Amino acid sequence: MMMMMIIIWGVPCGCCPGDQKAALLEFRSLYVGNSSAGGDFSNWNASTSCCEWSGLSCDSRHQFVMALGLLDTGFMGELLEAGVSSDVLTPLFLLTSLRYLDLSQIYIRGGIPPGIGNLTQLQKLDLSNNRFSGPIPPQLFSALPHLQQLGCDGNALEGKIPIEIGNLTNLVDVFMHGNKLSGEIPATLLQLHKLETLYLKDNFLSGEIPSVQNMTRLIDLKLDNNFLSGEVPTWVFELSMIQRLYLGRNNLTFAYAKQIAPKSRFTQVSLISCNIASNGIPLWLANQSDLETLDLRSNRMTGTFPGWLAEMHLTDLVLADNLLQDFESSEQSLSRADSSNSFQSHKPSNFRPLGK
């Protein structure tokens, strides 16, 4: 009989731990009780394992909750004007086995709860497109050593980017765009050697762009639409893997635009209002055969529209609000250009204006 009991006890029940189920049910009660946004919680009930619920997945051995994606539960209902308080998230911070947590687009308002720091095993955290406000808690960067992807874009976060971001040395993708972040970009970014994507655009960041040439894996850098100043840094063009570069709509100057020789193959370049001035269209672009998007508007560039640029197979070319005068050749195969320059002669027959 004892042997039989041992055998029965050793058979896994396929149930998630009771404390995790209780925490999830408490979250459901708090969220549904504080909103009309709804969400499909129809199979979130005490009679089934939480591993079977919508939006959750568990590890196969111990049935610990490993991933929670609330968009998968159907959070597409009516958006309350006031949103839902971030306090409703508190029970989720008991799920210390979580590796992936997606809280995007669920209408949460208020500060980012420091309790997220309890989820020390997180590898992906997505808080994007909510109504989070206030500063980013340093705990977000101090207690999550395994974090690889961080998304808190599309909120109303304020204050400086904590210097503790340098502690997250496993970060690969950082999305903080579309907030109200201010101050300088922390130099501790130098410590993020694995970073491939950095989106800080559409904020109120100021100061010079820090030297992050140690980010040798960087592919996608978007810092446009801030208040950054100083020179466009030369280290950007030393990075061999970078493909997408957006630095426009700041207070930057690109005085040496003709003197560089990028080590990478760009696919997208945006240098709007970077004070390229009379240097004209930078010649180094002629060697960027993979380029698809080029935006050099509002740079006071003079001179001619070069033939090599017309021959490139660009999907989007924007040169609006410059002082370009002429086309080099009437035989150019130009598919996209702008009418807001001063082209006087040799306009190719297939020239057609592109709106600003």
293-337 residue pLDDT tens: 999 999 988 888 888 998 898 999 999 998 888 776 544 444 445
As beta bridge partners, residue 175 has 151, 199
What pLDDT is recorded for position 340?
A: 55
CB 132 within 8 A of CB 176: no
Tell which phi-psi region holds residue 65, choosing left (phi > 0), alpha (psi between -120 and 50) or beta: beta
What pLDDT is recorded for position 72?
A: 55
Average pLDDT value for the chain: 84
Residue 114 has pLDDT above 90, yes or no: yes
What pLDDT is recorded for position 279?
A: 64
82 token code pair: 């006031």
pLDDT band, residue 257 (cuts 50/70/90): low
Determine what percent of the chain is predicted with pLDDT higher than 70: 81
Tell me how far apart the alpha carbons of residues 323 and 275 are, in angstroms, rounded to a whole number.
Answer: 12
Tell me how far apart the alpha carbons of residues 140 and 126 are, in angstroms, rounded to a whole number.
Answer: 12
Three-class SS of residue 356? coil
Model-wide pTM > 0.85: yes
Cα–Cα nearest to 232, from 205, 214, 250, 206: 250
125 token code pair: 């955290």
Count the neighbouring beta carbons within 10 Å of the beta carbon of residue 154: 20
pLDDT band, residue 288 (cuts 50/70/90): very high
Contacts of 277 by beta carbon, 8 Å cutoff, 6+ apart:
255, 299, 300, 301, 302
Tell me how far apart the alpha carbons of residues 65 and 100 are, in angstroms, rounded to a whole number.
Answer: 10
**Least trusted range by pLDDT, from 137-141, 221-225, 236-240, 245-249:** 137-141
CATH number of 112-227: 3.80.10.10
> How far is CA 245 from each of CA 221, 251, 316, rounded to the nearest angstrom?
5, 16, 15
For the chain, residues classed under CATH 3.80.10.10 are: 112-227
DSSP H or E run through 198: strand 197-199
Once rounded to an integer, what is the mean pLDDT over residues 102-120?
Answer: 93
pLDDT band, residue 255 (cuts 50/70/90): confident
pLDDT band, residue 87 (cuts 50/70/90): very high
> How far is CA 18 from each of CA 24, 50, 59, rounded to the nearest angstrom?
10, 9, 15
CB 215 within 8 A of CB 236: no
Cα–Cα nearest to 119, from 138, 137, 101: 101
| E strand segments, 62-159 | 65-69, 84-85, 100-102, 108-110, 124-126, 131-134, 149-151, 156-159
Count the neighbouring beta carbons within 10 Å of the beta carbon of residue 342: 10
Determine what percent of the chain is predicted with pLDDT higher than 90: 57
- Interval 186-219: pLDDT, tens: 999 889 999 999 999 999 999 999 987 789 999 9
Tell me how far apart the alpha carbons of residues 147 and 69 are, in angstroms, rounded to a whole number.
Answer: 16
What pLDDT is recorded for position 265?
A: 95
Residue 132 has pLDDT above 60, yes or no: yes
Tell me how far apart the alpha carbons of residues 176 and 161 are, in angstroms, rounded to a whole number.
Answer: 9
